[in-house]
C-alpha cells in the first residue's frame, strides 16, 4: 500500500449543522491526523449491493497488517435504528499463536463542514487467533448520514482509524512503539450496475486420497479479467477448531503490478451430492488484495456425516460464486 499524507478535503454543497453530540461522537480537533483513511466514493451504490459489511484493503502499522470494516446498517441488540458502525480487524497472518495483541484505537468519520474528524472515545480490544474482530462502534444513524452534507459530500464519505497504542501479552511481554507516519489513504469505488459475475465448480473425485493435513488448491479460473483459485485446508488451518477451512484467493502473480484491485462479494459452498442441501457462506464486500474466507467453514463431524452428502465415496464438490462490484486504489 502506498503512503501519503492526508490531503485537505474540499467542502462541497451547502453546509448543514449536524448535532454530533446526540450520537455520542466527539470532535477530534483539526490537529488530529489518523493513521489510515478510507474514502468511499459511491456510498449509495454500496448500500444497494445489500452487503452487510465492507472491508478495506490491508494497511500496515507497527509490525501488523490491519483492515478497517464498515457496517452500513448495524443495529445494536434491542435497537430499531440502523447505524453506520466501524470496527478494526487485524490480519490473522500477523498474529502469533499464544500472543494477545492489546490495541487502543480511535474510529472516526470526517466532517467536511468542520474540517475535522469526529468519532468515539478511544476503544480497546484484545486480539488473538480466535478474536480478530473488535466490537462495532456506532458513529452515526444511517438516515442522518444520508441527509447530511457535513459527512456525505457528492455521495462520498471518509472513515478513518488511528491506532494509539499496542501491547503484546506473550512470554516476552513486549510493548510495541506505534510510530507516527504519513496517513495511508485508500479509495473505494462501487458501481451502481454492470456487475461482473462468475461461477466455478471444483470437483475432487479423489478427496479422501489427498494429503488432508495440508493446504490444497483448485485450478485457477478467470472472472473479470482476473485469475482466482479456491484454497482449502481439509482438516482445518491453525486458526480453526475441528473445522474445514475454505478461502478464495486472487492469483497475485496475475495482478501483482496493478495499482487498482477488485472489490467483490463471494459465496463459497460445499455441495450436498445426495439431498441438494448445500452448505453455503457469503462474504461482505472486500478489497481483493489477498485471500478471504472462513477458517471454521464447516465442522469436520458434519463434513464426514454420510447422511449429509458432502463427501460421497471419495468425491467432494466445492463451488465459488463471485460478483465484482467495483475497484479500490491507494490515494
Whether residues 183 and 220 share a domain: the answer is no
Per-residue pLDDT at 32 exceeds 60:
yes
Whether residues 173 and 224 share a domain: the answer is no
d(CA 227, CA 251): 5
Per-residue pLDDT at 1 exceeds 60:
no
Identify the CA nearest to 145 among candidates 72, 77, 80, 75.
72
Tens of pLDDT, residue by residue over 134-192, are: 999 999 999 999 999 999 999 999 999 999 999 888 776 666 767 778 899 999 999 99
Residue 220: per-residue pLDDT: 95
Whether residues 29 and 150 share a domain: the answer is yes
Residue 4: per-residue pLDDT: 31
215: domain CATH number is 2.60.210.10
Q: Considering the domain boundaries, does residue 249 fall inside one?
A: yes
Range of the domain at 167: 20-190
Of 130, 159, 190, the position where a domain reaches its end is: 190
Whether residues 26 and 165 share a domain: the answer is yes
pTM, entire model = 0.87
Per-residue pLDDT at 62 exceeds 90:
no
Q: Considering the domain boundaries, does residue 116 fall inside one?
A: yes
Q: Considering the domain boundaries, does residue 147 fall inside one?
A: yes
Q: How many CB atoms lie within 10 A of CB 81?
A: 12
Residue 9: per-residue pLDDT: 32
Residue 238: per-residue pLDDT: 86
Identify the CA nearest to 286 among candidates 56, 40, 36, 50.
56
d(CA 154, CA 58): 26
Residue 169: per-residue pLDDT: 87
Whether residues 231 and 116 share a domain: the answer is no
Residue 256: per-residue pLDDT: 47
**3-state class (DSSP) for residue 48:** helix
Count how many domains the chain has. Answer: 2
Amino acid at each position: 500500500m502506498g503512503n501519503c499524507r492526508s490531503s485537505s478535503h474540499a467542502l462541497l454543497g451547502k453546509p448543514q449543522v449536524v448535532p454530533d453530540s446526540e450520537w455520542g461522537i466527539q470532535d477530534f480537533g483539526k490537529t488530529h491526523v489518523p493513521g489510515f483513511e478510507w474514502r468511499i466514493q459511491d456510498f449509495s451504490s454500496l448500500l444497494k449491493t445489500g452487503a452487510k459489511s465492507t472491508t478495506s484493503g490491508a494497511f500496515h502499522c507497527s509490525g501488523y497488517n490491519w483492515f478497517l470494516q464498515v457496517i452500513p446498517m448495524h443495529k445494536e441488540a434491542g435497537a430499531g435504528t440502523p447505524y453506520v458502525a466501524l470496527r478494526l480487524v487485524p490480519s490473522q497472518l500477523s498474529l502469533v499463536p499464544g500472543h494477545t495483541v492489546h490495541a487502543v484505537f480511535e474510529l472516526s468519520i470526517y466532517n467536511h463542514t468542520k474540517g475535522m474528524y469526529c468519532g468515539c472515545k478511544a476503544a480497546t480490544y484484545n486480539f488473538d487467533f480466535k478474536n480478530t474482530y473488535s466490537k462495532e462502534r456506532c458513529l452515526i444513524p444511517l438516515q442522518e448520514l444520508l441527509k447530511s452534507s457535513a459527512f456525505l459530500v457528492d455521495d462520498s464519505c471518509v472513515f478513518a482509524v488511528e491506532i494509539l497504542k499496542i501491547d503484546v501479552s506473550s512470554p516476552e511481554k513486549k510493548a510495541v512503539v506505534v510510530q507516527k507516519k504519513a496517513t495511508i489513504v485508500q479509495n473505494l469505488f462501487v458501481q451502481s450496475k454492470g456487475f461482473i459475475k462468475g461461477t466455478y465448480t471444483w470437483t475432487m473425485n479423489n478427496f479422501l486420497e489427498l494429503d488432508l493435513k495440508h493446504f490444497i488448491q483448485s485450478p485457477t479460473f478467470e472472472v473479470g479479467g482476473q485469475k482466482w483459485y479456491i484454497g482449502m485446508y481439509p482438516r482445518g488451518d491453525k486458526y480453526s477448531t475441528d473445522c474445514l477451512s475454505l478461502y478464495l484467493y486472487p492469483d497475485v502473480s496475475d495482478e501483482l503490478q496493478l495499482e487498482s484491485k477488485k472489490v467483490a462479494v463471494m459465496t463459497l459452498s460445499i455441495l450436498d451430492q445426495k439431498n441438494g442441501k448445500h452448505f453455503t457462506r457469503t462474504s461482505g464486500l472486500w478489497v481483493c488484495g489477498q485471500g478471504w474466507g472462513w477458517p471454521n467453514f464447516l465442522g469436520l463431524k458434519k463434513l464426514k456425516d454420510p447422511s449429509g452428502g458432502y463427501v460421497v465415496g471419495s468425491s467432494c464438490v466445492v463451488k465459488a460464486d463471485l460478483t465484482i462490484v467495483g475497484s479500490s486504489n491507494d490515494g
